[in-house]
């Protein structure tokens, strides 16, 4: 099992919308709202490198509000 921690910046007013969209994604296992340089931390778990790459560079990066 592969695990990754992803730091995410969210546009103002979009935190709840982005959080809901992230939790619907296969592979997102934990999600935290944080203070500081980033707004959210996502913990991802997948069985394949390709899925991890697809999730980070495709699905998460292209979400409206990210």
- CATH number, domain of 39, equals 3.30.70.920
Q: Please tell me the predicted confidence (pLDDT) of residue 53.
A: 94
- Per the domain annotation, does 65 fall within a domain? no
Domain of 12 in residue numbering reads as 2-60
Q: Does residue 53 sit within a domain?
A: yes
Local structure of residue 51 (DSSP, 8 states):
H
* Residue 28 in domain: yes
66, part of any domain: no
Q: How does pLDDT run across 29-48, given as a tens digit for each residue?
A: 999 999 999 999 999 999 99
Token code pair at residue 2: 């592969």
Q: How confident is the model at residue 15 (pLDDT cuts 50, 70, 90)?
A: very high
- Looking at residue 38, what is its pLDDT? 98
Q: How many domains does the chain have?
A: 1
Q: Which two tokens stand for residue 33?
A: 């709202």
Token pair recorded at residue 46: 């997948």
Under 8 Å between Cβ of 41 and 8: yes
The answer to the question of residue 50 being in a domain is: yes
Does some domain include residue 42? Answer: yes
**What is the SS3 assignment for 53?**
helix
Q: Determine the average pLDDT of the residues in 24-29.
A: 96
Q: What φ, ψ does residue 64 adopt, rounded to 5°?
A: -65, 130
């Amino acid at each position: 099992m592969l695990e990754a921690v992803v730091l995410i910046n969210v546009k103002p007013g979009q935190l709840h919308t982005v959080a809901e969209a992230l939790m619907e994604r296969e592979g997102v296992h934990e999600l935290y709202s944080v203070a500081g340089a980033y707004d959210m931390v996502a913990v991802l778990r997948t069985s394949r490198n390709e899925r991890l790459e697809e999730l980070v560079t495709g699905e998460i990066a292209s979400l409206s509000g990210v």
